[in-house]
Structure 1
């Protein structure tokens, strides 16, 4: 089973924070084919007590196995560069939720960065405020882009500012 899981894991795309939908679809399919998706499909069962039936004990045991192997499988399908940045969890279902949240956050950051970069590169001084305010706004946009992890070289910023001014 271990070699089969490794084979399945190597055949799907690796989660990289930007491809959640495709990755999750493949992961859910492969775990389903291996009959390991119980932990993804159901919440963690309540802890066992002496009053549980044999059926409840059997379900609990199947869920624990599914969760343990699914979690290993999920971690095997994440690119190495982001494994340490994902929050740790003991549950496969929660891992999927956290991966989705991370993906949505990254997509929002990427979209916001793109919008700010577009604004920075297309800004034009229109005379409705002082030139100092115009340059300061462009500088602030560049700082926001830098805070989102993208570099904006000072020489490019100077060129953008100069290009935004009237001839």
Structure 2
């Protein structure tokens, strides 16, 4: 039998070019997975989130109004429960569909803390405080300003996520 003869079915070690190509492909796949996990939600859910945070200050302010303001208090309470329930259901749907589509869960922990901490503190204040200010002053402009500010914050956050996704891709 000859030495160095090729045997069918035996593993031949990859050439150095093949090994480099395989490592490059593995790095590309790793970067792709990182990019997918850095994208926290689908675009339709970003739209739903923006609509929810824009409506919340107005509905919450209507619930806190001293007297009947545009609608009875029960209607405001019902509206608040309905929009919150719809938002939570769509949140679950978005998470499940995103996980099925990408193989990764919706995540916020991959985002820089310098962006998420101020939003985690500021967003609840923007959602709730204007309702109390409206109750004290009777000026609905506070609710409108909070609605615009929360919608802008939501859109800005989504744009930042998209940029992070593109940067990681």
Provide the TM-score with structure 1 as the length reference: 0.32
Greater RCO (Cα-Cα under 8 Å, separation 6 or more): 2
Provide the TM-score with structure 2 as the length reference: 0.31
Select the structure that is richer in helix: 2
Larger Rg: 2
